[in-house]
Amino acid sequence: MKVNIEIDCTPEEARTFMGLPDVSKANSVYVDTMAKAMKGVTNPDQLQEMAKAMAPMGQVGLKMFQNFVEGSMAASAARNAKKDDD
Longest dimension (CA), the chain: 57
**pLDDT at site 15:** 86
Q: Would you tell me how many other CB atoms lie within 10 Å of the CB of residue 16? A: 13
Is the pLDDT assigned to residue 34 strictly greater than 80? no
Q: What is the pLDDT of residue 86?
A: 61
Q: What is the 8-class DSSP label of residue 29?
A: H
Per-residue confidence at 50, pLDDT binned at 50, 70, 90? Answer: low
Domain ranges of the chain: 10-54, 56-86
Q: How confident is the model at residue 3 (pLDDT cuts 50, 70, 90)?
A: very high
Q: Which of 33, 12, 36 minimizes the C-alpha distance to 24? A: 12
